[in-house]
Amino acid sequence: MISDPAQYMAIALFVSFVTLIFTGFPVAWLMAGLAVVFTAISVVSDTYLDTFFGVDWGYSSIVVDRIYAVMNNWVLVALPMFVFMGIMMDKSGIAEDLMTDLAKLFGRVRGGLAITVVVIGVLLAASTGIIGAAVVLLAILGIPLMLKHNYDASLACGVVCATGTLGILIPPSIMLVLMADQIRVSVGDLFMGAMLPGLMLGGLYGIFILLYAWLKPGAAPAPKDAEPVTLGLFLNVLKSTIPPALLIIAVLGSIFFGIATPTEASGVGALGAMLLALARRRLSFDGFRDVLRGTMRTTSYIFALFVGATAFALVLRGFGGDELIEDALTALPYGPDGVVIVILLIAFLLGFVLDWIEITLILLPLIAPVLLGMDVNLVWFAILFAVTLQTSFITPPVGFALFYMKGVAPKGVDTMTIYKGIIPFMIIQLIAVSLIFIFPKLATWLPAIAYG
């Protein structure tokens, strides 16, 4: 029930935002522009219609202090460092070597090449955390290899799309850093909370692949020309796997054991990725420049969204939008669990039209106070939220991972093949969301053990 006429302005602001998304205009400037326009409308209404909605230029100028507080946030320094680490790991060529060696190791097993993609995807998720890059890299490396060995094209595409999105969940995920900042919880708590769900998802993918290959051998056959497993092959696999694994352990271990803050650990990760690329003779001046430019573009995009979302949220609150959302959620007759389900459903639907960064910056600050008031465990909710967003990335017809996949898919792989292949993995994702919802300890057990 709307109790304040200003809340009609809040509804109009949000509806305008959702409508204008489809124009293709950059979301950061769209949010900031709407904040300015609706402030102007409120000022004009106050001046000429004698109707004041609670927002004027003096109120909106607070956005300067809010943006300064964002830029002064020490935790957010981890963002460009983790982005740099991911892009540098991508340039180092580690994934290519892993694909070659693991394919030989698992090649004698039905579905072994798809299992290889899952293993590499988990390692990429723990080292890059950039979904677009992971999906594209896995598609370029894995799909031609699987198709060459007569794998079903839909299975190959589904494995790549689903595994490539693990980077949004498995730490050190830049999304978890942003979420921790928005809902005011420890980054270490979220990293710990995401470990079991992330590995569980990778395990569920692997189990499905093995069952599918067993029930339908022609869809994922064992290569006829597979090399015998030798000690030399094991040594090559270890040589490819140990360096990135040590880097991941150094970054996450230093956080989990309290040796370093997430910001300090991100610096360790960035330096370690650079040293790995240097040791592999993959670090040229041009390559280093490309990594810096890629880091700058991604970081600039994120912080531009910070500016736009901060202005948008400030004006929305000025119109009483936060109270409107709180009243709507608390009025639901389903209790805290029902409220969480509704929020997850909204996030899932928004994932069709918005990037996870935009959803995180817009939605979380508005709903976090409501969840706190209901005594909902925010670590548990954040992991549920992350897995839900991951699911929206692979859900037809507009999942972003599907578009990344289509952009680099080999000739002959059409959109319907990709959609058909992703459906089983989408069901697995929904099962994972349900398991985390029913068994909260999947997300809260490790943080509770580590930090109490």
Neighbours of 1 (CB within 10 A): 7
- pLDDT given for residue 452 in this prediction: 55
| Contact (CB, 8 A) for 170 and 130 | no
CA 434 distance to own-chain centroid: 19
Report d(CA 122, CA 168) in Å as an integer.
Answer: 11
| Contact (CB, 8 A) for 287 and 336 | no
CA distances from 281 to 248, 271, 274, 435 (A): 20, 15, 10, 44
Phi then psi dihedrals of residue 359, to 5 deg: -65, -45
- pLDDT given for residue 205 in this prediction: 93
Q: What is the pLDDT along the chain (452 residues), one digit of tens a residue?
A: 555 677 788 888 888 887 887 777 888 888 889 989 998 888 888 777 767 677 888 888 888 888 887 777 777 788 888 888 878 877 777 777 777 777 777 767 788 888 888 888 888 777 666 676 778 778 888 888 888 888 888 998 899 888 888 888 888 888 888 888 888 888 888 988 999 999 999 999 999 999 998 888 888 887 766 666 677 777 877 777 788 788 888 888 887 777 888 788 888 888 888 888 888 888 888 888 988 998 888 888 878 888 888 888 888 888 887 777 777 777 777 788 888 998 898 888 887 777 777 788 888 888 888 888 888 899 999 999 999 888 887 887 667 777 778 777 777 788 888 888 899 998 999 999 999 999 999 999 988 887 65
Phi then psi dihedrals of residue 221, to 5 deg: -75, 155
138 φ/ψ sector (left φ>0, alpha ψ -120 to 50, else beta): alpha
- pLDDT given for residue 208 in this prediction: 93
Report d(CA 180, CA 187) in Å as an integer.
Answer: 5
| Contact (CB, 8 A) for 299 and 112 | no
Structure tokens at 388: 């839900």
Report d(CA 237, CA 104) in Å as an integer.
Answer: 9
- pLDDT given for residue 434 in this prediction: 93
| CA trace torsion 147, 149, 150, 152 (10° rounding) | -50
Structure tokens at 422: 């992703």
DSSP state of 49: S
CA distances from 346 to 48, 52, 353, 432 (A): 38, 31, 12, 18
| CA trace torsion 33, 318, 180, 83 (10° rounding) | 10
| Contact (CB, 8 A) for 333 and 2 | no
DSSP state of 172: S
Structure tokens at 217: 């051998």
Report d(CA 134, CA 336) in Å as an integer.
Answer: 35
The most distant pair of C-alpha atoms in the chain lies apart, rounded to whole Å, by 84
Report d(CA 195, CA 125) in Å as an integer.
Answer: 11
| Contact (CB, 8 A) for 40 and 73 | no
- pLDDT given for residue 209 in this prediction: 92
CA 325 distance to own-chain centroid: 25
Report d(CA 151, CA 251) in Å as an integer.
Answer: 36
Structure tokens at 404: 């990344």
- pLDDT given for residue 443 in this prediction: 92
pTM of the full predicted structure?
0.82
- pLDDT given for residue 96 in this prediction: 73
Using alpha carbons, select from 293, 373, 287 the residue that is nearest to residue 80: 293
Using alpha carbons, select from 184, 183, 134 the residue that is nearest to residue 160: 134
Q: Is 441 exposed, middle or buried (0-12, 13-18, 19+ CB in 10 A)?
A: exposed
- pLDDT given for residue 441 in this prediction: 92
Enumerate the H helices of 351-408 as residue ranges: 356-373, 378-393, 400-408
Please name the residue that has the structure tokens 């522009």. 33
- pLDDT given for residue 203 in this prediction: 92
| Contact (CB, 8 A) for 326 and 369 | yes
Amino acid at 305: L
DSSP state of 22: G
